[in-house]
Structure 1
Amino acid sequence: MLDCRLLPTIVLIFIMNYIDRTAVTSARLKGLEQDLGLTDIEYSTVLAVLYASYCPAQIPSNMILNRITRPSYYIPACVVVWGLTSALTGVTHNYAGILLCRIFIGLPEAAFYPGAIYLLSRWYTRRELAFRSAILYGGLLISNAFGSLMAAGILSNMEGKLGIRAWRWLFYIEGAISVVIGFLAIFLLPDYPHNTRWLTPAQRLLAQVRIAEDAGEADEDSAQESAFVGLIMALKDPKVIIFAIMTCAQLVGLGFVNFFPTIAGTLGFSTTVTLLLAAPPWILATIVCCLNAWNADRTGERFFHINAPWWGVILGYIIGVSTFSIGGRYVAMFLMACGYAGFALTLVWVSNAVPRPPAKRSAAIGIVNGFGNIGNLISSYVWKADWGPDYHPSMIISLSALALSSVLAFVIRCMLVSQNKRLDRDEMKDMKGAKRERIEEAARLEGLTFEEALERRKGFRYLY
């Protein structure tokens, strides 16, 4: 029931989330820069400034999401706001106007991806989360294909309609679609396992028991574990800091996404053909993303499932640096797009590595994705027009960033292996304080004694 209702809704929202965010890259192909009088550095700033609001807003947004009882109101409200802001981008007439729109679209968009991952983590077990998160992230990847196809249709058919430029119609139409989806999501999204309105009491209890069994603790905060306490706990965990730096580096390495139509344009075809050629790599990337995550859930392995797609991107960059042939560069674009199959599992790994309490987990997800997206801000200046059409310096910088990410991911893997060994030694020790409260609550939900729940908890181990 949850798969059929929650997943299609958040995938559809994510498709529009990224289409709205990256519409400016398609609009660039049809005169946005010229009409607004943007220089190359101003266009890069237009791309980057979204992340100036998007990144810091993710941490407080996830802290709010952990404390409120109705995410089915909070997330759709943010969807409606960013849809309106995206539509207003179409009425801008200068650099200052589009800059303001990009700043304000970043605030509501900050609530969605880390918030959606946190919401999934409240419903799915460790070995179910990767595949569901990949389906969610598949929405982003396929949105690059749909976005290109939608942009191709709008930009080629709407030029001059009602005296309005086609790139302005692009923002109007895509923004309006997001607003409609936001209102529909209010009725489709669930809240939390204990209070979702469209589940029966028995189904709500089942949802709580499943998560309690998975970790041996109730997925609840104690009275002492406030949102601020969870933030402090997350900041004190060295894994969270390393995850944040790793994510920042990988998004520098994957920053080509904001310039994908421009990179496709270096193949030398017309605007419409360029946008159509940009779609197939993302369709393949969506398939690879889901298969990779499905196998990650089956095996419980995380490190290689995250890093192998990055290594494919590194190979793509090497091909891109080594050849100017159309065939070689197009193959490189497929490898580059498939690299996002690794990023799709990053917040899943964070959720697995920082499972309890929920206040800490929600803050950790916000910190990692918020700080990590600084990499997108940096990459806005890595893919400079001056370095085109070959973009060799851009590819070398991105390749180096992904190499750093791989090293940091290996460090996290070693830390989790060490923590699992510590659990082997310490699992029979008595639980006290908040940990004991959560185990007692899990025992109550499952109808067990405290000793039986403690025995079940022996099965918990970090996934690496």
Structure 2
Amino acid sequence: MATRADNDSTKDEKAIGSVEHVEQSSRNSPDVLKEHNELLADDVRPAAERKLVRTLDMRLLPTIVLIFIMNYIDRTAVSAARLKGIEADLQLQDTQYDTVLAVLYASYVPAQIPSNMILNRISRPSFYISICVILWGLMSALTGVSKNYAGLLATRIFVGFPEAAFYPGAIYLLSRWYTRKELAFRSAILYGGLLISNAFGSLMAAGILSNMEGKMGIRAWRWLFYIEGAITICIGFFAMWALPDYPNNTRWISPAQRRLAMVRLSEDAGEADEDTSEDSAMSGLIQALKDPKVPIMAVMTCAQLLGLSFVNFFPTLTATLGFSTTISLVLAAPPWIFATIVCCIGAWHADRTGERFFHISGWWWGAIIGYIIGVSTMSTGGRYFAMFLMAAGYSGFALTAVWVSNAVPRPPAKRAAAISIVNGFGNMGNLIGSYAWKSQWGPNYHPSMFIGIASFALASVLAFVVRCILVKQNENLEREEMANMTEARRERIEDAARLEGITFEEALVRRRGFRYLY
């Protein structure tokens, strides 16, 4: 396997030569080709890489975080509306309300795999994702006109279809721009949008539900859907301009920066981040299904999301503390602000260390402690503290799709399918969890918490299995490199070790090729 020390120039040429979408002029004009390669020189490349990453961080990340905030605000608006009369107005029974929550995932889950397969084949993901944002904003707004259970059910089904494009699509888009050790922190910032949306969503809902009741003869819970849906539609149009496409065709960076972006990813995995002529969307799906890591991670994600299913009932849980509707919604915000902070800190550390298992499962273990506290006491302080630990459990899920991308890096068609399979099947946990917090189990919800404890325990076991598989695969890669090492290369590494004052083994580690992160 090629290593950076020996083959940087070779991999640069491979990345350049393998790109199918390079402008025709760059193939024919030496001057244009030189211009496109100008950022690859050793003396300018480090600064150019930092500038490229900063540009992405300032434009790509804020846009997808903003979309993700509205994604979960729209998705969980039903939970806030429950506190202001939607059940009474639409004459919903307890099971019917649970079905309204679950039915969104019935469309959201199966739509993710074809959505990511489409995303990998189209050239303008910025348009595709933005159109989906506009559509779910429209359907969310239409939820406010529901007159009965059937109407509410229909709108929530059609919210799920366009929403399916966003999260797995956003993770895949990030993986087309950031290297393995840049991806976790950026994905955590993205997922911070989800966590903080629970805080902003509760505060926004508190303001709308407390001030819009009866305005223009319309109930406050209907205004909640109208206002939040309209905001989402506006953000969707903005995203058409702000989001990038792929490194080979994004319009708002220079040709030299596009070339640099492609070379970076080529070096990161030892091969170009491009599908070959044989890598179709269907072949990527088949490859992903045959990789044992993918189904294991899919079940792991399902288990953890069942454990985290309290998110759809969080305002209901804070209401068990005994305060008014407005105060209950305000109290729902601090745990999610705390979760956002610890999520970003944990992901930053995961990028620095390259470790994945403990940075993911450790947060689940904290949520288990929160559940144990919730089962053990009904005191206001104890249960509210438990909610902080439960919310922090989402920090583990924030890195799950990143781990999938690290564990199934190439080809892109396989990676896109793997991310959608894991996230799509994983959201079955949310669907099941819609029935795991029955109102008759309140106000203590002990059965719900026992379900959560068992779910996190299963997820932890499966995560450990994935870790063991990746360790084994890295050992196989190590043996292959040693077996294929030529005498000349060994001598070069030994010379480098003497010059650097380190052992041969340490020098070998510095120059080794791609490894999985576990």
User: Using the alignment, how far apart are the partners of 1:426 and 1:223 within structure 2?
Assistant: 27
Structure 1 unmatched runs, 5+: 431-454
Aligned partner of 1:126 among 175, 180, 199: 180
Normalising to structure 1: TM-score of the pair? 0.94
Change in 2 beyond 3 A, CA 1:428/1:229: farther
Measure the CA separation in 2 of the matches of 1:242 and 1:427.
28
- Match for 2:62: what amino acid? P
Contact 1:213 1:456 in 2 (8 A): no
What TM-score, normalized by structure 2, do the two folds share?
0.84
Q: What amino acid maps onto 2:157 in structure 1? A: I
1-structure distance, mates of 2:179, 2:510? 15
| 1:298 correspondence with 2:352 | yes
Q: Which residue of 2 aligns with 1:10?
A: 64
Secondary structure, counterpart of 1:221 in structure 2:
coil
| CA distances 1:185-239 after superposition (whole Å, capped 9, x unpaired) | 0000000000000111000001001111111100000100100000000000110
Could you tell me how far apart the structure 1 residues matched to 2:87 and 2:271 are?
Answer: 54
Displacement of 1:160: 0.1
Partner of 2:443 in structure 1? 389
1: distance between equivalents of 2:252 and 2:83? 45
Query: Which whole-Å deviations, capped at 9, do the CAs of 1:218-274 have from their partners, x for residues lacking one?
Result: 000010010000000000011000000000000000000000000000000000000
Is 1:332 the counterpart of 2:395 in the alignment?
Answer: no
Looking at structure 2, the residues matched to 378 and 253 of structure 1 have their Cα atoms a distance apart, in angstroms, of 10
Q: Mapping of 1:259-408 within 5 angstroms?
A: 259-408=313-462
> What is the CA distance between 1:335 and its match in structure 2?
0.3
C-alpha distance in 1, partners of 2:448/2:474? 39
Number of the residue aligned with 1:52: 106
**Candidates 70, 76, 82, aligned match of 2:136:** 82
Q: Deviations over 1:101-142 (max 9, x none)?
A: 010000000000000000000000000000000000000000
Q: CA deviation at 1:427?
A: 3.2
Larger Rg: 2
Question: C-alpha offsets along residues 56-94 of structure 1, whole Å, 9 cap, x if unaligned?
Answer: 000000000000000010000000000000000000010
**2:269 is matched with which residue?**
215
1:31 aligned residue: 85
Query: Is the contact made by 1:217 and 1:457 (CA closer than 8 Å) also made in structure 2?
Result: no
Structure 2 SS opposite 1:199: coil
**Aligned partner letter, 1:425:** R
Mark the runs of 5 or more structure 2 residues left unpaired by the alignment.
1-54, 485-508
Aligned to 2:237: 183
Aligned to 2:194: 140
Distance in 2 between residues matched to 1:21 and 1:401, nearest whole Å: 23
Deviation at 1:457, TM superposition (A): 8.7
Displacement, 1:429? 7.3
* Match of residue 433 from structure 1: none
Residue deviations 1:276-331 (CA, integer Å, cap 9, x gap): 00000000000000000000000000000001110000000000000000000000
Is 1:224 matched up with 2:242?
A: no
Aligned-pair distance for 1:459? 2.0
Shift of 1:426: 1.6
Q: Tell me what 1:450 maps to.
A: none
Percent identity over paired residues: 77
Please say if residues 216 and 456 of structure 1, whose CA atoms lie closer than 8 Å, have aligned partners that are also in contact.
no
Query: What does 1:60-209 correspond to in 2, within 5 Å?
Result: 60-209=114-263
SS at structure 1 position matched to 2:435: helix
Name the amino acid aligned to 1:166.
A
Q: What is the letter of the counterpart of residue 219 of structure 2?
A: R
SS at structure 2 position matched to 1:222: coil
* Residues 215 and 457, structure 1, Cα contact 8 Å, conserved in 2: no
Matched residue of 2:378: which SS? coil
Taking the aligned partners of 1:373 and 1:284, their CA distance within structure 2 comes to: 24
Quick one: which amino acid aligns to residue 27 of structure 1?
Answer: A
CA distance in 2, matches of 1:183, 1:248: 32
Q: Are the counterparts in 2 of residues 296 and 302 from structure 1 also a CA contact under 8 Å?
A: yes
* Distance in 2 separating the partners of 1:286 and 1:329: 20
Partner of 1:439: none
Which residue of structure 1 aligns with residue 471 of structure 2? Answer: 417
Contact kept? 1:216, 1:457, Cα under 8 Å: no
Q: Which runs of 4+ in 1 moved over 3 A?
A: 427-430, 455-458
Q: Distance in 1 between matches of 2:452 and 2:150?
A: 30
One-letter identity of the residue aligned with 1:415: I
